[in-house]
Amino acid sequence: MSDFILSPKSFSEFIERVLNEERHFWSEKTNVFLNALLDSSKTRTQSIPQGAEYFRARASNAVSGILTKEEMKPKKNLRSEGRINPYNINVLYLASRKETAIAETRTANRQPITVARFITNRELNLIDCTLDRPGWHHYYFGHNPKNAEDSEKSTWIEIGGAFSRPAEDENQRHFYTPTQIIAEFFKHNGFDGIIYQSQFDARLKGEERYSGISQNIALFNLDDADPIDAELWQINTKIIEASPIKGVTTSY
């Protein structure tokens, strides 16, 4: 197989390097990979107009009820980190749908949740990791691409999956390092944020499964969007769909 600059293999090697070998000072291989990603991003950008509507949800206290406008934005010096924000550097996480924002809170059933509607304050230029959605072609050729175009597409699918995947617990936060580096690299190259697909198939009570893409967006500048109103919601039911992995069994 040819070694393309952008490929699932080169992305895996990038992850291995920044997790185990380098963090703040990058090797030539890492710089080559990131710059190739930047060049590839030119066809994977999304312009968001001023006044676009998004949503953010936060668990509320059962006593105090709906959260204030100030509480719906990240506070400085939270000393937290996530898929896109490095430790103690905040970004504004939003969602394209109320249900998606609610699901991302991972709260318990019946717990009150404040859902605020945010409006963007200016035109924004975002990296869109949802454009290369995985299809049958990816599952057959994604890890063995036949040409540079397929390899590039498969790389972005893998990157989109990495942005969508949360850490299982606090002890796995270091696995966010690769996506944090990619996001910060795009930030310092003039982009305003990242669009990525939510892992949740969230829906309103009584409605059918949503057929579109549930998008999350992360804005690097907290002042690029502000809440204008809010509602109090709750999760009624958490539906889990499961299936056995064929051939993986054991006896005790």
Inter-residue long-range contacts of 225-228, CB under 8 Å, 24+ positions, other chains counted: 225/54, 225/92, 225/94, 225/118, 225/119, 225/120, 225/121, 226/69, 226/73, 226/118, 226/119, 226/121, 227/56, 227/69, 227/72, 227/73, 227/116, 227/117, 227/118, 228/116, 228/117, 228/118, 228/119
Give the global pTM. Answer: 0.86
pLDDT for residue 1: 42
pLDDT of residue 112 exceeding 80: yes
DSSP E strand stretches across the chain: 45-48, 53-59, 92-95, 113-120, 124-128, 193-197, 215-219, 225-233
pLDDT at 218 over 60: yes
pLDDT, position 205: 64
Query: What pLDDT is stored for residue 22 in this prediction?
Result: 94
57 or 1, greater pLDDT: 57
Q: Which of 9-23, 126-140, 213-227 has the lowest mean pLDDT?
A: 126-140
Residue range 113-138: mean pLDDT, rounded? 87
How does pLDDT run across 127-179, given as a tens digit for each residue? 999 998 766 455 555 567 788 888 999 999 999 999 988 766 666 678 899 99
Domain boundary assignment for the chain = 8-233
| Model confidence at 249: pLDDT above 80 | no
Q: What are 21-71's pLDDT values in tens digits?
A: 998 899 999 999 999 999 999 999 999 999 999 999 999 876 668 899 999
* More confidently predicted of 206 and 238: 238
